[in-house]
Amino acid sequence: MIKRLLISISLATSLFGTQVTPIQTNPIQGNINIEKMVENRDIRELEELAINNPYMADINFMIGVYYMAGDKIKNVEPNFEKAIKHLTKDENNLAMANYKIAEIYYYGGFGAKQDLEKSIQYFTKSLNQEFKDYKSVAPLSLLAISNIYLEKLYDYEKAVPYLMRAAQEFNKVEAEMTLAFMYYEGKGILKNEIEANYWINKAYFNKDANGDIKAYISNYIEPVNNFNIESDVKNSCGVLRWTVAR
């Protein structure tokens, strides 16, 4: 049985950390290297280049990044308002652009105060399936939103649908582990040890579960005979392979 682990949440603390990446400055579409396209142009040339350009979404992303942090080589002073303007242009938006804005509001900085509601708002905007980078950004945003609810707002129930989506649509091992502990503890969701067992096994046998994750999971598993489900396979760590139809 999964040992008692109050979701305070040591695991979920790692969720947002998983997504905190340096500002992306080299989006590549097809065989075009956008960084090479923009590297020898000043900011005004870039703003002109972004007009009616097939790669204007990527170029505007780059301009937004320059304005966000400033760029001495291009003589660009940090300007949060201009960064937002370029990152959120309706006709050429990218999921990653919304993700980066959300990240700023999560931490505060670059001219913006910390605002968790706005952070959730922009993470949610990044979940638009029409964005060409949706598949790469959506799982990160889902985990980030769930972590805000779990670690910052302590609203476990609101975290559940985002965790479910991250687990079911994107096989995110972090979401699977967190759902297992939440089901076991009855935090934000009705306590259900069968569901807890299902999700902890999904996590353990997830292709992205490395040795550290497997070791972490095995520390919270007791022998198979403590589970009230049928199973005919158990590995050496005591983790069940799911064999019963849900």
- pLDDT, tens digit (0-9, with 9 covering 90-100), for 34-62: 677 777 788 888 888 888 777 888 888 88
**How much is the CA Rg of the chain, to the nearest whole Å?**
21
Give me the percent of the chain exceeding a pLDDT of 90: 37
What pLDDT score does 12 carry? 39
Mean pLDDT of the chain: 77
- pLDDT, tens digit (0-9, with 9 covering 90-100), for 181-230: 899 889 999 999 889 889 988 998 999 988 888 887 777 665 433 443 33
Segment 147-165 shows an average pLDDT of 96
d(CA 232, CA 178) in angstroms, rounded, equals 25
d(CA 178, CA 199) in angstroms, rounded, equals 9
d(CA 129, CA 138) in angstroms, rounded, equals 9
Stated as kind and residue range, the H or E segment containing 33 is strand 32-33
29, β-bridge pairs: 32
Stated as kind and residue range, the H or E segment containing 131 is none
Question: Could you tell me the pLDDT band of residue 119, with boundaries at 50, 70 and 90?
Answer: very high
What pLDDT score does 231 carry? 39
Higher-scoring residue by pLDDT: 28, 146: 146
- pLDDT, tens digit (0-9, with 9 covering 90-100), for 59-109: 888 888 888 888 888 888 888 888 888 888 766 678 999 999 999 899 988
What pLDDT score does 245 carry? 34
Helices and strands in the chain: count of H runs, count of E runs: 12, 2
* DSSP reduced 3-state for 72: coil
Query: Strand 32-33 and strand 28-29: pairing?
Result: antiparallel
Tokens of 232: 């005919």
